[in-house]
Structure 1
Amino acid sequence: MASPARAALRVTFHPDAQFKPSRGNSKLITTTETFCEFQAEDVTDEMLAEAAKLFSEHYGIWGTAPPDHEFLGTPGRRVRMTASRLRNQCLPIGAQCSYVCVKVDDVLAGNAFACRWNYKGRQVCWVTQLVVHHEFRERRLATGLLAKLRRVEDEIFGIMSSHPAACMALSKACADFALPNIPLDFAQVHATTVIASSPIAYVQDAKLRGSLFSEGSSNGLVSGVDSGFFVDHEEPLAALAWLRERGQWQLGDLPDGHEFLLVFDSARRRRWRSSGRVAVGSPS
């Protein structure tokens, strides 16, 4: 377990005031958001049990898989997680991983796991899990969590997620220019080898899908993976429709059993900014 002194060094406080209606009146409620970051060796079993509970209650529900697909969930039931599986998947032994969480008035409101590895002499920061409590969404907590994960030496960022909001949060927190203006040419050239070099098993085994990687793709997906993870897409598709109405999406459609893939080079953005050049987004 991390000592109190070590843990305290990773804590920042962000007071946030919000208005909530109460019987026709607006009532000012002041809340305190506390972000904490821990390295893998400091993450306790108690933290993982709390994180697994958040995942099981707020991540999503199972959808329906094809008849010939090996399926471990029950349609309509919540996707469940255990502390031991969370440690094995997101904090494998020997990997450089970290965990960040945010509490709102002592309630665990969201968390994220990330893993770092070297790719051709450059540091990759990959978000392996991101969950926000339903009652605390649309408060930019996801963006705040990922911003806390970011380090100066991180140059390449990535995430696989069925929820467009997760991709948007990563682009806002770590790219300095959000979707739909992220160049996708880096992913087109390097995604295969970046993923193959990951110490996280499910990332390493991901199967790239979409028109960005295959000209013959016809399912509307631009950049994604076939994860075989048949989670219900009702909520992600609603978010996708909202983003498209505002012209804020470039990763395409979301077929069942797939997840969006966002991989980008933030160092190139810094080089362009220092040289006075302007980044141009790839077409959607």
Structure 2
Amino acid sequence: MEGAEGTEGTHAAHGAMTSGMACLKEQSKSAPEEISSDSRPHVTFLPQPQIAVFESSWVLERARSFKMAKQLYEVFERDEVTDDMLLHAAELFSQNYAVWGEHSSRQGKRVILSARRLRPQYLPTNSRASYVRVTVDGKLAGNAFACRWPWQGKTICWVTQLVVGMEYRDRGLAKGLLGALREDVDDIYGIMSSHPAACLAAGASFGGSIEKISLDFIAKNAVSIMKASPISYVRNANLRGSLFDTTDSTGLVSGVNTEFFVDHQEPLEALSKVRELWNWSLGELPEGHEYLLIMAAKRRLSRPL
């Protein structure tokens, strides 16, 4: 009985398969007609896509910090500089210039400059000195001091200080300050600085590019130009580098030994980035030294009236 039930069950299953195959055959015969009826062109409308833009709070804050609504450059001759201007200039310097390095007894502390020292050091009475500042939205963002003196029938313009507030750097303010100092009577420009960015800005503002600087010009004229300066720290600077001493092994090419031992971490980081983009010819930066840059003025092209 079990066998009969099993056989019956088998036949039932076989019958179902036969019936199913017949059904498939029937469907296959009618399939072309169905495909033909659906082959007509038709358009399907999809929901309109929506695009959402997400900006992180960091990006928004960064954008706000870079926004500078108003920049104002002002140039003052020595007699026009007030004590209040010098007070703000001293604050800018002391808060942004540099910190003392490991070879200083004040390592890690900020380099401080008082307002009372600014006038005799940077605006001496026996010179034609000037001061330029840039304010951003009414706040002092950077400034520079310069001094002019005659040399062999030419006019020397020497940048004695250049400071830009940390929050305003990498925005072209240094170049703008130096550009504001330029005068048509200037024949030669000079600067001593431990920061490659200052040299880069000077090269771009006065000589066209840091890559166009003539080392031969510096080697031939540095001594006599600097000895004629009314600024004591320029006049008494000790020239250093392979440009002035072929036995110099420090890696410095053109510089001065100021024994001003500020921390060089930031300048060296900047130097690494500068070398990726430009041909840097002033060499390495030993402790207690500054770069020396002297260049003939790039004449401005006159424009027709």
TM-score by structure 1 length? 0.82
Q: What's 2:101 paired with?
A: 63
Q: What's 1:118 paired with?
A: 150
Q: Per-residue displacement from partner, 1:28-51 (whole Å, max 9, x unpaired)?
A: 645100001100001000000000
Q: What's 1:11 paired with?
A: none
Structure with the largest fraction of helix: 2
Shift of 1:82: 0.5
Q: In the alignment, is the contact (CA less than 8 A) between 1:95 and 1:115 conserved in 2?
A: yes
Which segment drifts farther, 104-113 or 180-189? 180-189
Shift of 1:162: 0.2
Q: What's 2:6 paired with?
A: none
CA-atom RMSD, angstroms?
2.0
Q: What's 1:153 paired with?
A: 185
Letter of the structure 1 residue corresponding to residue 92 of structure 2: L
User: Where do 1:141-180 residues align within 5 Å?
Assistant: 141-175=173-207, 177-180=208-211
Is the alpha carbon distance of 1:54 and 1:21 closer, same or farther for their aligned partners in structure 2, counting shifts above 3 Å? farther
Structure with the largest fraction of strand: 1
Shift of 1:106: 0.8
Distance in 1 (CA, whole Å) between partners of 2:172 and 2:285 is 23
Q: What's 1:251 paired with?
A: 282
Q: In the alignment, is the contact (CA less than 8 A) between 2:206 and 2:295 conserved in 1?
A: no
Q: In the alignment, is the contact (CA less than 8 A) between 2:175 and 2:201 conserved in 1?
A: yes
Which of the two has higher C-alpha Rg? 2
Is the alpha carbon distance of 1:27 and 1:63 closer, same or farther for their aligned partners in structure 2, counting shifts above 3 Å? closer
Distance in 2 (CA, whole Å) between partners of 1:101 and 1:147 is 11
Distance in 1 (CA, whole Å) between partners of 2:99 and 2:63 is 33
TM-score by structure 2 length? 0.77
Q: Per-residue displacement from partner, 1:93-134 (whole Å, max 9, x unpaired)?
A: 121100000000011000000000000010000000000000
Q: What's 1:206 paired with?
A: 237
Instruction: Report the secondary structure of 2:211's partner residue.
Output: coil
Letter of the structure 2 residue corresponding to residue 161 of structure 1: S
Which segment drifts farther, 86-95 or 241-250? 241-250
Q: What's 1:237 paired with?
A: 268
Shift of 1:247: 3.3
Structure 1 ranges of 4+ moved more than 6 A: none
Q: What's 1:38 paired with?
A: 76
Q: What's 2:258 paired with?
A: 227
Where structure 1 has 5 or more consecutive residues not aligned to the other structure, the ranges are 1-19, 66-70, 275-284
Q: Per-residue displacement from partner, 1:108-163 (whole Å, max 9, x unpaired)?
A: 00000000000001000000000000000001000000000000010100000000
Distance in 2 (CA, whole Å) between partners of 1:244 and 1:130 is 22
Q: What's 2:221 paired with?
A: 190
Q: What's 1:98 paired with?
A: 130
Where structure 2 has 5 or more consecutive residues not aligned to the other structure, the ranges are 1-54
Q: In the alignment, is the contact (CA less than 8 A) between 1:21 and 1:27 conserved in 2?
A: no
Q: In the alignment, is the contact (CA less than 8 A) between 1:208 and 1:225 conserved in 2?
A: yes
User: Residue 50 of structure 1: which of 81, 88, 93 is its match?
Assistant: 88
Letter of the structure 1 residue corresponding to residue 89 of structure 2: A
Letter of the structure 2 residue corresponding to residue 122 of structure 1: K
% same residue:
50
